[in-house]
A = this chain, B = another copy of it.
Amino acid sequence: MDDAGRADRREMHEASLLLRRILTLNDEVEKQLAEELDVNPTDFDAMQHLIQSGPLSPSEIAARLGITTAAATMAVDRLVKVGHVTRQPHPSDRRRLLVVPREESVRRAMARLLPMIGETDALLSRYTDAEQAAITDYLARTVQILQRTLGRDGA
């Protein structure tokens, strides 16, 4: 090892490096959008789930974000305060409640993300069916590798 403890990347494919770049860039995009919506990373994460899945209970939000229900309560407090969500009673269970995203907030987030989503999606059309199949297969197998890595806890 003659390069002083630096990880060796000379054997990595161009595609692997690009995928890493995508991962870091996505973090930056999310961070920027969170700032635009005046919420912290956690609250933005919650908003993403609410936008994608519709109204959720605080406990469901806690589970999805990997935080405690106490933290979820505080996150919802903050989102209510800035007007991004409202608390509504659950129709059949009076213990529960539903956190409902405000339509205006959903629109603002979507307006910002739709161009990216649209471009990403339109991108596929540039390729032949065979190429698209290869791309999809590559991504699917990458998902499998990540899931396998998650399963292999080193402990």
State the A residues within 8 Å of B (CB). Answer: 3-7, 9, 11-16, 18-19, 21-23, 25-26, 28-29, 31-33, 36, 51-55, 66, 100-101, 103, 106, 108, 110-112, 115-117, 119-121, 123-124, 126-128, 130-132, 134-136, 138-143, 145-150, 152-155
| Contact residues of A: prevailing secondary structure | helix
CB distance from A1 to the nearest CB of B (A): 9
Closest to A106 in B: B5
* Residues of chain B contacted by A121 (CB below 8 angstroms): 11-13, 16
Count copies of this chain in the complex: 2
How many Å lie between the Cα of A29 and that of B2 in the bound state? 29
A36 touches B116 (CB 8 A): no
A135 contacts which of B4, B138, B149 (Cβ < 8 Å)?
A: B138
A36 touches B154 (CB 8 A): yes
A100 touches B5 (CB 8 A): yes
CB distance from A129 to the nearest CB of B (A): 11
